[in-house]
Amino acid sequence: MAVAPQLPSFRLDGCRALVAGASSGIGLACAAALVQSGAHVFMAARGADRLRDAVAAMADLGGTAEGLALDLTDIDAMRSAVAENGPFDVLVNSMGHARHGPALETTPEDFDAVMNVNVRAAYFLAQAVARGLVQAGRPGSIIQISSQMGHVGGIDRGVYCAAKHAVEGMTKTMAIEWGGHGIRVNTLSPTFIRTPLTQSTFDNPERRAWIESRIKLGRVGEVEDIMGAVVYLASPASALVTGTSLRVDGGWTAE
């Protein structure tokens, strides 16, 4: 008699997760998704007041979370925080920075500001979490919130695209190097997602019409569209998934 296979679990009970950039927007949604899936979430962000409110919101969901008021671009401080509170079974890095404008007008200051957050800090945060897992002899899942712009080009987004393409590249290498330790490394690449920071873009009728014309499903993204994807990548349901990108882009990059 055939034995039916069992669906792998999407639950994260007993997991310790670190979400960077967790006080608002996509990061807050990721933290909420992990909390609702059973993880104990450490929420890292610079703004102590907003972070305090975000942690309280996790309690309202019936989950457990702690706040880490921290500038993650301070590599020494970040490493100390990870060592003190880890090891983390799951990392979701949602911190990000953008300075959009024509490539002919990019300044070194713009370039450095974006790369410092989106590449340098992202790289060393993943490294710190992976080191903790290797030292503890534990597997884990590292998820970088990238972008559809890590797979295509975009007008006025030369530096941002460069940064996100770099994240995609380093993710592949980390997945290759750390796979033997059971550490999976992936990106989650959203399209335009409505958040407090992006609302001004959607309030511009011409920009919104252009965005919706590129998204094959005909609507902009909401933070809820990210939540199931991040749980999948964090959980045993994606046990054989590493070194790749899960694109939550409504079909933007399909062409």
Q: Domain locations in the chain?
A: 16-254
Residue % of the chain over a pLDDT of 90: 88
Q: What DSSP line would sit under 19-63, residue for residue?
A: EETTTSHHHHHHHHHHHHTT-EEEEEES-HHHHHHHHHHHHHTT-
Average pLDDT over residues 212-231: 95
Residue % of the chain over a pLDDT of 70: 100
User: pLDDT value at position 199?
Assistant: 80
Average pLDDT over residues 127-132: 98
User: pLDDT value at position 79?
Assistant: 98
User: pLDDT value at position 93?
Assistant: 98
User: pLDDT value at position 162?
Assistant: 97
Average pLDDT over residues 218-231: 95
Q: Mean pLDDT for the chain?
A: 95
User: pLDDT value at position 201?
Assistant: 80
User: pLDDT value at position 210?
Assistant: 87
pLDDT band, residue 196 (cuts 50/70/90)? confident
Cα dihedral 47/51/52/58 (nearest 10): 180
User: pLDDT value at position 202?
Assistant: 82
User: pLDDT value at position 200?
Assistant: 79
pLDDT in tens, 12-68: 999 999 999 999 999 999 999 999 999 999 999 999 999 999 999 999 999 999 999
> 11 in the Ramachandran plot: left (φ > 0), alpha (ψ -120 to 50) or beta?
beta
Average pLDDT over residues 89-101: 94
**Residue bearing tokens 């310790």:** 16
Cis amide bond preceding 87, omega within 30: yes
pLDDT in tens, 143-189: 999 999 999 998 899 999 999 999 999 999 999 999 999 999 999 99
Nearest partner of 96 among 61, 122, 77, judged by Cα? 122
Phi, psi of 53, deg, nearest 5 = -65, -40
CATH hierarchy code of domain 16-254: 3.40.50.720
User: pLDDT value at position 126?
Assistant: 98
Average pLDDT over residues 109-135: 98
User: pLDDT value at position 113?
Assistant: 97
DSSP code of 101?
A: B
pLDDT of 197 > 80? The answer is: no
**What residues are annotated to the active site?**
160
Cβ atoms of residues 187 and 247 within 8 Å: no
